[in-house]
Amino acid sequence: MKFSKLTSGSVAAALVVALAIPVVQSSSASAAGRDISKATSASQAGGVAGLAAACKKEGQLNTIALPHYWANYKGMIDGFKATYGVKVDEADPEASSQQEIDAAVTLKGTQRSPDVFDVGLAVAVKYLNTGTFAPYKVRSWNNLSFAKDIDPSAQVTPNYTGTLTIGYSGSLGTITKLDDLFDPKFKGKVALNGDPLGSSTGMNGIFMINKALGGTFDDTSKAVAWFAKLKALGNFINVNPTEATVASGQTPVVIDNGYVQAGIIKTMAAAGKVWKMYTPAAVGSTYNSAVSAWAPHPACARLWMEYTLSEAGADFWAVGGATPTLWVHLLKTKRASAAGKAAIGNSKTNAEKATSDQTVKARAYLKTAWPAAVGTN
C-alpha cells in the first residue's frame, strides 16, 4: 500500500515508470528492395499498392491518442482495418498531443512506438525540423487546404479541422445568442472542455467566445470577462466534462469541439434525447497528421496517411462532424459525398485559426487571468 501510493505520488514518476520497462525488440523490417522508412511519397514505395503490400507484411499499425468518439475515428480505424487487412494497435486514446510525442521518444527503437501522430498545431509546429517527423507527401497533398502554409516540407500534414461549438441539452430550450447563457436557468450547467493552459480544445473554446464578442486572437480579455461574469452568476462550473457527465446530464452545456458534439447528438438521439449545438463564431484549429521518424511499421504509417487524407478518409471525417482539409477541393470538383455534405454542409470550411504564436501569447495571458476569472477558493 505504502509503496504503491508513493509511486503514484507524482505524475512524473508514474510517467518515468514507462521508461523503466525494458522492451527491446528487433528494429524495423522493411520491404524487400526499397527502404520504405525513407520514402517521402507513395511513388517511392511502389505506389499505394506497394505500400499496402508492404504494410500487410508488417501486419500492424500503432496509433496513439485516437478516441473513438472523436471525429469518427472509430469509423476511420475500422475502415483502415477492413480495407488493408492489418491489425491496428491503439494506445492511450485519451493522451494529449504532447504525450504522443513523448511516448514515441520514450519507446524509440521498440515495436510499441507509435507509427503515426495526430497532433494539434502548437505541438506540430514545436516539433518541426527536430527529427521527430518523417517527411511524407500524400498524393492528395496539392489539394489540401492549409498544407503549404503549415509545412511546405510535409513533415506534418493538416488533416481535418474542428469547429468549436456549444453543445447543450435540448431540454434547456434554444440558445440564440451568447448572453442567453447568463439566464438563471443555466445555473451550474455550463462547462468548458479542458483548461486553456493545458488543452487546445479549452483554448479554442475561449477563442470562439472571444471572437463572438468581437475580440481578436491577439487579445482574449473579452472572453475572460465574459467567463468571469458567467462564473459570478454561478452558471459556469469548473468540471471537466466527460462522456459520463454529458450522458447523465451533469454537464448539460459544454463548450467543445464540433466533431465531438456531433457524435453526442447521435448517441443522445439513440437514447431518445435531444442534444443541440450553437456556434456563435467559426473558430477552430487543424489537427495534423505525421509519420513518426521512429515508426516501427513505416509502410503502414505511410499507408495510414494516404488513407486518412484520401477521399474515403475525408468522408469519415465529414460524417463525424470534422471538416477534412480535402473538403474545399471535393466541393470544388463536386466529389463531396451527400452524407458528408449533410453532416457538415458547405459553410464550415472557413473557420478562423490562431497561429501558434497567438496561442502561446494567449496562454501567457491566461496563466493568471483565467484562474482569476473562474478560479475557486
Partner 1 sequence: MTQLQYKRTGSANGRTGSRYWRSKTAYLGVLPFLAFTGIFLLYPTWNVVSGAFRDNYGEFSTTILKSVFNDSIARKAFGNSLELSAKTAIVGAILGGLFAWAIATGKPGGLFYKVSVALSSVLAQFGGVMLVFAFLATFGFNGLILTFATQYLPTTFLADASWLYSMNGLAVLYTFFQIPLMVLVFLPTLENLKPQWREASDALGGKSFEYWLRVGIPILTPSFAGAALLLFVNSFSAYATANVLINLADYLTPLQIATALTSETGGSNPAEAKVLSFYMVIVVTVVMTMYALLRRKVSNWEQRR
The reply to whether 185 sits near partner 1 by the rule CB under 8 A is no
Closest to partner 1 by CB, 237 or 330:
237
The reply to whether 375 sits near partner 1 by the rule CB under 8 A is yes
The reply to whether 24 sits near partner 1 by the rule CB under 8 A is no
Residue pointed to by grid coordinates 509545412: 151
Closest to partner 1 by CB, 58 or 118:
118
Least distance (Å) between residue 303 CB and partner 1: 27
The reply to whether 19 sits near partner 1 by the rule CB under 8 A is yes
Least distance (Å) between residue 167 CB and partner 1: 15
Which residues, numbered 225-254, are part of the site for partner 1 (CB under 8 A)?
234, 237-240, 242, 244-245, 248-252
Least distance (Å) between residue 180 CB and partner 1: 18
Alpha carbon distance 131, 2 (integer Å): 41
Closest to partner 1 by CB, 57 or 231:
231
Least distance (Å) between residue 368 CB and partner 1: 7
Quote the DSSP letter at residue 216.
B
Give the three-state DSSP class for 39.
coil
Least distance (Å) between residue 374 CB and partner 1: 8
User: Which residues make Cβ contacts (< 8 Å) with residue 335, sequence separation at least 6?
Assistant: 311
The piece of 7-15, 77-85, 133-141, 316-324 that touches partner 1 (CB under 8 A) is 7-15
The reply to whether 20 sits near partner 1 by the rule CB under 8 A is yes
The reply to whether 96 sits near partner 1 by the rule CB under 8 A is yes
Least distance (Å) between residue 151 CB and partner 1: 17
Residue from the set 50, 114, 120, 258 that interacts with partner 1 by CB under 8 A = 120
Alpha carbon distance 53, 63 (integer Å): 19
Least distance (Å) between residue 153 CB and partner 1: 21
Which residues, numbered 31-60, are part of the site for partner 1 (CB under 8 A)?
none
Query: What mask, x for binding partner 1 by CB under 8 A, covers residues 189 to 228?
Result: x-xx-xxxxxxx-xx-------------------------
Quote the DSSP letter at residue 289.
E
CA dihedral of residues 276, 353, 341, 304 (deg, nearest 10): -110
Residue from the set 255, 279, 359, 369 that interacts with partner 1 by CB under 8 A = 359
The reply to whether 363 sits near partner 1 by the rule CB under 8 A is yes
Least distance (Å) between residue 257 CB and partner 1: 13
Cβ-in-10-Å burial (0-12, 13-18, 19+) of 247 comes to middle
Pairing status of strand 157-169 against strand 323-324: antiparallel
Closest to partner 1 by CB, 48 or 237:
237
Residues of this chain that interact with partner 1 (CB under 8 A) are 2-3, 5-17, 19-21, 95-99, 102, 120, 122-123, 126, 187-189, 191-192, 194-200, 202-203, 234, 237-240, 242, 244-245, 248-252, 356, 359-360, 362-363, 367-368, 370-371, 374-377
